[in-house]
Amino acid sequence: MEDTRLALVVLVPLVGAILSYVLGRAAPRIAGILATAAVATSFCFVVSLWQALEGGQTFSFTLSSWLSFSNIKLPLEIYFDKLSAVMCLVVTGVGSLIHLYSIGYMAHDESRPRFFSYLNLFIASMLILVLGKSLPVIFIGWEGVGLCSYLLIGFWYTNPDFASAGRKAFVMNRIGDLGFIVAMAILYHSCGSLDITVLNRPEVLARIPSEMGFIAGIALFLAATGKSAQLPLFTWLPDAMAGPTPVSALIHAATMVTAGIYLMARMFGVIELAPLVPAIILWTALATSAIAAIIAISQNDIKKVLAYSTVSQLGFMFLAVGVGAYSVALFHVVTHAFFKACLFMSAGSVIHGCHHEQDMRRMGGLAKSMPLTCLSYGAATLAIAGIAPFAGYFSKHAILESLAHAHNPYLHSYGELIGLGATAIAICTAFYMTRSFILTFLGSYRGEGHPHEAPMVMTAPVLVLAVLSVVGGLVLNHGFFTYLQGPLPPVATHSGGGILGSVLGSVPGLIGIAAAYALFIVTPAVKDQIRKVLWVGEKVSSGKFFLDEILGLLVIAPFRGLSVVVSRVLDQSVSIGTGNAIGGISRAVGELTCRVTTGQVSTYVLWMFASAAFLLYCFLPVR
């Protein structure tokens, strides 16, 4: 059913982006307010559309006839159903809170208008991604988000490392998008259309030949790994912390990185075509979240810890996708958006308070000077650790449970192993989060200067998100799965299982917290011995598994070398060389032939006479 409000949801942030830049140049203060207002109005539209969504009703709106000519129909159409409603609510809701927060955070930055315009542009492209009715439209949002993350990561472009971090993010996303395009090509030719509503119908999926289906599935997963930072392509996320903290909160915690899971959920039919694809997803997810968790333990930069924790949590979500529990994964997406955004923003307030100090070793004892931020950071830490009443518990518990019911042929024998691994990672998560909490807020202040509490405009959104990460789980736990029954396949879940169940469920979190508390507060000395004993693990973890170096060696160096070789050998010597060589040859032949002119009259006469003789001999009608 056509609805202009849907168009406004996307267009308002877009217009906001342009206006906030144009007007912002005149008066920088307006930019922030304008941008936040734009996202807020978009949020209101989403809520009003969400209210109007009952039963199977959906909204759609065609912005332009885009790629439709002769018999090809690919209009630029956006589509609003329950799944995109959930995602839009998260994007615009958390987005507006973050916009509000960044008014305070970026108060002293002189290129604020450019920041807010990029932020709004990001929200607009994320909305297009989430609302896209056909895969190419989703792809528009997909690349738009990549571009905005490139612009925002490299926002302080005077520092060359930040700029190259932005480029690294964009290129890695681009490698993922390669898969997206390949998948689109396969699906278009076998199913004839790229419309998401059509693609998930079983009779359409039956038309895809099996190995093509497998390639399409893997290609889509490659796209998701690029965007949601999974194993092969996740090293860009920690470097993306070079951008301002609101950017990390919005893009690299709440919204963009979840695009991969949204795509998997949308394309669940294609993913499940070949049973091997979910298995591959499961194993990569497990490996990624394990590696990220281990690395996070030894990080000293507060934002890097959170970045690796995001990668690990995303791994968790992909675990749920791997076993086919898409609504569970989305539930974790929502709760993760709440507490991770809250964590990042409180970290931002800490950094802001400590005059842009990001290293936890020069923080500590901030509980006294920044009580509110400490409170929200604590709440969010408990949530992410998966302690009973908090949001994290419900979604993480649901994932662990759905792992137990995995019925994928490739995973029968490993069912419990994956469950155990997931629990171990959960413990790890609790451990490094508590470590970061202790290092920043407890003990004595190790930095110089005196940190101060962030202004109200920053702490207010953080507190709102803290409340959400406390209450969110409880509220959403029951209605969420049934709500998403429509667009997504059903998933077997049961209620929280009473007090005993919740205590049992939060045991891994408690273990992690206890261990961290013991090591860092009670007996710090023990920590050093362990570090000496496990020095190999410590070296690997702080060296980030040397992934950057491996990637550089395996991918970047060969290509750079190849480009030099190709440019020098193939281009210079072959194509340009042959051109010059042909020139040289013709000159040499020229010099050779002009030797004939000896300047002697007699030679010329002899030549003339000889050719006369030859011609006469040939042509005169002899005999």
Task: Name which of residues 18 to 77 contact other proteins (CB under 8 A).
Answer: 63-72, 76
Residue from 59, 118, 139, 481 touching other proteins (CB under 8 A): that is 139
Q: Closer to other proteins at the Cβ: 51 or 602?
A: 602
Q: Closer to other proteins at the Cβ: 140 or 507?
A: 140
210 binds other proteins (CB under 8 A): no
530 binds other proteins (CB under 8 A): no
- What secondary structure letter does DSSP report for 195? B
Helix 210-228 to helix 302-322 angle (10° resolution) is 160
178 binds other proteins (CB under 8 A): yes
Alpha-carbon span 435 to 427, nearest angstrom: 12
Can you give the three-state secondary structure of 8-64, one letter per residue?
HHHHHHHHHHHHHHHHHHHCHHHHHHHHHHHHHHHHHHHHHHHHCCCCCCCEEEEEE
Residue from 18, 504, 550, 605 touching other proteins (CB under 8 A): that is 605
Contact 63, 7 (CB under 8 A): yes
Residue from 420, 475, 534, 570 touching other proteins (CB under 8 A): that is 570
- Stretch in the footprint of other proteins (CB under 8 A) among 294-302, 372-380, 507-515, 575-583: 575-583
- Stretch in the footprint of other proteins (CB under 8 A) among 88-96, 133-141, 336-344, 432-440: 133-141
- What secondary structure letter does DSSP report for 200? T
Residues that bind other proteins (rule: CB under 8 A) add up to a total of 75
**What track of x and - describes contact with other proteins for positions 147 through 176 (by CB under 8 A)?**
x--x---x--xx-x--xx--x--xx--xx-
Least separation, in Å, of the C-beta of 365 and other proteins? 36
Contact 177, 161 (CB under 8 A): no
Q: Which residues within the stretch 73-112 sit at the binding site for other proteins (CB under 8 A)?
A: 76
Nearest alpha carbon to residue 257 among 318, 327, 347, 300: 318
Of the CA atoms within 13 Å of residue 612, those in its CB half-sphere come to 6
269 binds other proteins (CB under 8 A): no
Q: Closer to other proteins at the Cβ: 66 or 545?
A: 66
Least separation, in Å, of the C-beta of 304 and other proteins? 22
- Stretch in the footprint of other proteins (CB under 8 A) among 281-289, 338-346, 434-442, 559-567: 559-567
Q: Tell me the one-letter amino acid at 146.
A: G
Alpha-carbon span 99 to 255, nearest angstrom: 13
Give one word for 421, left, alpha or beta, with left for phi > 0 and alpha for psi -120 to 50: alpha
- What secondary structure letter does DSSP report for 113? H
Residue from 449, 578, 584, 585 touching other proteins (CB under 8 A): that is 578
518 binds other proteins (CB under 8 A): no
Residue from 568, 585, 587, 589 touching other proteins (CB under 8 A): that is 568
Tokens 């469920």 correspond to what residue?
505
Residue from 562, 585, 588, 589 touching other proteins (CB under 8 A): that is 562
Cβ burial, residue 193 (10 Å; 0-12/13-18/19+)? middle
Residue from 95, 104, 113, 144 touching other proteins (CB under 8 A): that is 144
